[in-house]
Structure 1
Amino acid sequence: MPNHLLHHQLTNTSWRCPEKEAVIAVDRSISYQELEERSNQLASVLMRAGVQKGDRVGIFLPKSIESLISLFAILKNGSTYVPIDPRLPSGRIEYILQNCDIACMISSSATLKKVLADLSDDLALKKVILTDWDGDENEKPEGHPQFIPWTSIRDEDGQRNPGPDIADVNPAYILYTSGSTGTPKGVAISHLNSLTFVNMAAEYFGIDTPDRLASFAPLHFDLSIFDIFTAVRQGASIVLVPEFYSTFPIRLAEYIDKQRVTVWNSVSSVLIMLVDMGKLEKCGFETLRLIHFSGDILPPRYLRELKSHMKNADFYNIYGQTEANSSMCYHIGAVPPGDHWKIPIGKPFPNFEVFAVNEDGRKISSPGQEGELYVKSSTVAVGYWNDGERTKERFTSNPLDPADASRCYKTGDIVKLDDKGNFVFVGRKDSMVKSRGYRIELNEIEIILNGHPLVRQAVAVAAPDEKIGHLVVGFASLVEGESLSEIDLLRYCQDRLPKYMVPESIHFLKRLPTTSSGKVDRKAMEKEALEG
């Protein structure tokens, strides 16, 4: 049977273990046979609606059984899935819809209502499949798109995939991340890019049919790729974690234990929250065998606490970017004493070549040397959707070998080597930081701050925080004679930025400090933010 596309993994597994639970939600589950058949049916609905090979289809749903059916149906139709966070400001949603020219959206009535109310009149959604509408004209939502009821899948043949044959270099999905120009970047990932990582990860971490992988990350976050596709490839079960559990750590800990989760994958800040407020001593975590964390610093004291409660688990610090997927890991054994140990990001996975280049263009090879990290692998993304300039800037030829035609991803991360050959993260070459697992481009926040009519000049800086990675703090000076409250400026940001990018606080200064060259003195404000 074919095995070179992401959705082939589902088809093959549905033949191998049809009755096995594929996706487990709080109140119900679906088998691999059902997931295969429902996604075949929805792929037929997409095809009948005129969605063609290569078209982009938006998934505008919280993670659910329906959203995973949608994901595989889109792939089977030869299309590209684009997960969109319903909590984004309307301006960002509108940008994504325009940037990748969404041909069809899969959503619920309540979620869609928010978008339709705020979209520009000249941006019309063409087709929308509604998961909670049965076709009753009396209950049809208001709006201009062609609405298609989810129940129409019942009329389709679920026994075969109706979609066209496509090459593995075709984009499977587009994930939008923070961009330095004030607009998100759509990272286009091909079937080959993704499946190269999935195949490696399944083998490297020994994922197998009895495993139950917790799926905590939302679909628009690249951590979801491991949870979903590695499980499907191996016939393991995907345990969907309700989004609101992220604010109820005790319930989250109990859910992990009750659902007999064997593999956990999240940003570090979630684990920190579990230690602080999850009452871990009440749970056994006997089935938990693998814990992956990434995105933020995990202080040693939290790691020790986690290991004391999750005694059967191996802990891995995972390093990667959306543009190249996870490329390195560090397996954590005994945690050294003290609180100043910086966990290495480790060594490259099999079939990955990772190297760092110093300012002289030479590869670093000795402990303590620093350089910018490059990733060379067939996991390196197609590029940024509809953005050739930024693609050319970050997806490059091999800087160490001009004759090498392979593409590399220039990460912008500065790293060094330790005495055991592990890479250790030093910092960002530019102003991008991580907070709560999200990548944040400080310049993007500054664009919003400086867009306020009463702001004369503003900057955003990041102060290290052991729990969430970084706290983002704004500094602003106002137009002469004008006044503006911190609350009003924060609300201005909330209307234009995702929640995780809104500054924790904003300080007003008569004038922003400058260096002797007249440039804004960011280090002075970073120091002030750090001090409080």
Structure 2
Amino acid sequence: MTFLIHHLLSESAGKYPDRKAVIYKGESITYRELEQSSNQLANTLNEIGVGRGDRVGIYMPKTISSIVSIFGIVKAGGTYVPIAPDAPAKRMEYILKNCGIKHLLSVRDKVTQLANTFPVDSPVEKIVLMDSNSPVGHLPIEFVTRERILNSTQDSPPSTNSIDRDLAYILYTSGSTGDPKGVMISHLNSLTFVNWAQEFFRIGENDRVASHSPLHFDLSVFDIFSTIKAGATVVIIPDGTATFPLRLAELIEKERITVWNSVPSVLVLLVTHGKLERFRFPDLRLVLFAGEVFPVKYLRQLVKHIPHADYYNQYGQTEANSSTYYQVKDLPDNDAGHIPIGKAAANFEVFAIDENNNVINRPGDIGDLYVYGSSVARGYWGNIEKTSLAFVANPLSNGSGEKAYKTGDLVTLDEDGNYIFLSRKDNMVKSRGYRIELGEIEAVISRHPGVKQVATIAIPDEVIGNRIKVFIVPFEPGSPTQSELERHCAELLPGYMIPDVMEFRQYLPMTSTGKVDRRLLVAESKVGV
């Protein structure tokens, strides 16, 4: 019976023991080897104190070792918490403390970088080195080496008494107060989506699925678990490859990728700089995109270059997985047209409520989008207030107390009953596929003692979704400098949240009610583009 996400691996290992499970830079691991390695890691984690429900950090680039780490942690009964390998030290410190992470899985290079910045009061007690047999540096922490894992004589996964309501992973997303929010996803939440996606998109044992998204980004859930469920092969796209579109195009063809899943901005770069006329991609049968709006003019070019593939727009959030889908068959004649986000996936309930608390059901009606079902997350780790604001009583449940996720997205319906995304209600935007809370950027910049006032806006960009621009009013002209503020941001924000543009002003425009006139700032910025 499959009710935990690691059961997917065990079942496929039984069916396809010698099939390649994961490929990375010419190296590979079979299903039998992945099952055995993750069992050894799981038993080692139990031996060093990891138990049911414990949060275990993963701090390393996405490689074969990181996939072993994921399955080893959940087999041990733990909850994996991926931390971006390029995360600023203070963001990493927050996640470690917020989640109470006592065990951290990493690699030698990353731990070496931590030696001088590791927080003194960190809750981490043990670091498991997935690639080294000797401790690193002078950190006052116990190290568990790769040799100890390999010497484990336990070939079977440990018995943990885990149930499907237990947390499988926690993914941190942008938060309005300057600190990220940890989205709690249970095994049930994850499997609801994974089972649907594998079956609906017909992922089979002969597929080779590209895994481009980082582990802390929810698109990685499909890449890994739906692929493993099918007994297919995960082909990890090395970090940074997408910034070299021609190299990415060569990799897709060389690795005979059959299924691609990423944010549209990666595909836009592929269209504009990947020299697609040189390639045929004969094996590529399915292109999935999610996370942001795909400009029609670039999607049209992609379809022209790869006409034999099926294209799907997926919509969702970390808090509820991908809940709607739309198969792209006919593109709008107008490049300014919208690709619908579609209809609810099987076993998902999606509805929109208008300002009069009625469910919208006619084209042109506008409402707030809600998602209900077993895919909806448990809430935000250690943040009851934000959980209560986003995970609300289901408006359609007649007082039963069931929770639905209020996405914060405004949508309408087209003539065929497909939802069309219009805008966000709050201050959150998408850039390069990442959710960015503009308030978090403002909160971080405001911490600088030389900053008197700050306002952040998003400028629409057809390639990356939005460019982030900040307006800063310093206490003293010329201090801080832009370089100083960029360094300040780099210490507290991940790279994708560092503003693209900084503009210093003597004052910010205000509305008649005394608020910063953000609409005027946006209008002025568009004129200057």
TM-score band, normalised by shorter chain: over 0.9
> What corresponds to 2:81 in structure 1?
82
CA distance in 2, matches of 1:523, 1:37: 57
Helix, strand or coil for the counterpart of 1:102? coil
- Tell me the equivalent position of 2:502: 506
Query: 1:197/1:481 Cα in 2 relative to 1: closer, same or farther (>3 Å)?
Result: closer
Alignment of 1:358-507 (within 5 A): 358-480=354-476, 483-507=479-503
Deviations 1:362-383 (A, max 9, x none): 1111111111100011000011
User: Aligned residue for 1:104?
Assistant: 103
Shift of 1:124: 5.0
1:302-381 map, 5 Å:
302-381=298-377
Residue matched to 1:156: 152
2 CA distance for matches of 1:452 and 1:79?
A: 38
Distance 1:115 1:424 in 2: 44
Q: Once the 2 structures are TM-superposed, how far is the Cα of residue 172 of structure 1 from its aligned partner?
A: 0.4
Matches of 1:62 and 1:384, distance apart in 2: 25
Distance change (3 Å), C-alpha of 1:160 and 1:401: closer
Instruction: Letter of the 1:523 partner, please give it.
Output: R
1:145-181 Cα shifts (integer Å, max 9, x gaps) = 1101112122223531123121100000000000111
Residue 93 of structure 1: SS of its match in structure 2?
Answer: helix
The answer on whether the counterparts of 2:115 and 2:138 sit within 8 Å (CA) in structure 1 is no
Indicate conservation of the 8 Å contact 2:474/2:506, yes or no: yes
Matched to 1:49, the amino acid is I
Mean alpha-carbon deviation: is it higher for 168-177 or for 42-51?
42-51
316-325 vs 124-133, which moves further: 124-133
Give SS of 1:302's match.
helix
Equivalent residues of 1:40, 1:73 under 8 A apart: yes
- 1:354 and 1:140 map into 2 onto residues whose CA distance is 49
Mapped to 1, the partners of 2:93 and 2:163 lie a distance apart of 30
Verify the 8 A CA contact 1:449 1:458 in the aligned structure 2: yes
Which consecutive residues of structure 1, in runs of 5 or more, have no partner in the other structure?
A: none
Mark the CA change 1:158 to 1:310 in structure 2 (over 3 Å): closer, same or farther: farther
The equivalent of 1:517 in structure 2 is 513
* Cα deviation, residue 482, structure 1: 5.7
CA distance in 1, matches of 2:459, 2:326: 25
**SS, match of residue 469 in structure 2:** strand
Give a deviation string over 1:172-229, Cα, whole Å, max 9, x none. Answer: 0000000111100000100000001111111111111111110000111000000100
Structure 1, residues 475-504: CA drift from partner, whole Å, max 9, x if none?
A: 111215564433332232222211111111
Q: Structure 1 residue 299 and structure 2 residue 295: aligned?
A: yes
Alignment of 1:221-300 (within 5 A): 221-300=217-296
Aligned to 1:55: 54
The letter for the 1-side match of 2:481 is: S
CA distance in 2, matches of 1:331, 1:10: 29
Task: Find the counterpart in structure 1 of residue 208 from structure 2.
Answer: 212
CA distance in 2, matches of 1:212, 1:398: 39
Structure 1 residue 142, shift from structure 2 partner: 2.3
Contact 2:368 2:407 in 1 (8 A): yes
C-alpha distance in 2, partners of 1:42/1:489? Answer: 42
Question: Helix, strand or coil: the match of 1:293?
Answer: strand
1:363–1:400 contact (8 Å) kept in structure 2: no
Which residue does 1:25 correspond to in 2? 24
Superposed CA RMSD in Å reads 1.3
1:199 to 192, 195, 202: 195
Deviations 1:272-295 (A, max 9, x none): 010111111111111111101112
TM-score, length-normalised on structure 1? 0.97
Moved more, 342-351 or 293-302: 293-302
What CA distance in whole angstroms lies between the structure 1 residues aligned with 2:99 and 2:483?
34
The more displaced of 302-311 and 27-36 is 302-311
Is the CA contact 1:274–1:280 (under 8 Å) kept in the aligned structure 2? yes
Which residue number in structure 1 is paired with residue 115 of structure 2?
Answer: 116
User: Given residue 419 of structure 1, which amino acid in structure 2 is its aligned partner?
Assistant: E
Identity of aligned residues (%): 48
Which stretch of the first structure deviates more once superposed, 114-123 or 227-236? 114-123
Q: Give the Cα separation in 2 of the matches to 1:182 and 1:408.
A: 25
Compute the displacement of 1:388 (Å). 1.1
Aligned to 1:473, the other structure's residue is in SS state: strand
**2:183 matched residue in structure 1:** 187
Contact 1:187/1:381 (CA < 8 Å) preserved in 2? Answer: yes
Q: Secondary structure at the match of 1:272?
A: helix
- Tell me the equivalent position of 1:131: 130
2:477 and 2:227 map into 1 onto residues whose CA distance is 60
Give SS of 1:197's match: helix
Q: State the alpha-carbon separation in 1 of the partners of residues 457 and 435 from structure 2.
A: 14
Q: Structure 1 pair 141/454, CA: closer, same or farther in 2 (3 Å)?
A: closer
- CA positional deviation for 1:47: 1.0
Counterpart CA distance in 1 for 2:19 and 2:314 is 29
Normalised by the length of structure 2, the TM-score is: 0.98
Of the structure 1 ranges 445-454 and 95-104, higher mean CA displacement relative to structure 2 is found in 445-454
Q: Distance in 2 between matches of 1:480 and 1:243?
A: 41
1:3-35 Cα distance to aligned partner (Å, 9 max, x none): 111001111111111111100111211110100
- For 2:339 and 2:75, how far apart are their aligned partners in 1? 40
Q: Secondary structure at the match of 2:116?
A: helix
Deviation by residue 1:202-259 (Cα, 9 ceiling, x = unmatched): 1111111111110000111000000100011110110011012122111111101111
Please list the CA deviations of residues 306-346 of structure 1 after superposition, one character each: whole Å capped at 9, or x if unmatched.
11221221011110000000000111012222311111111
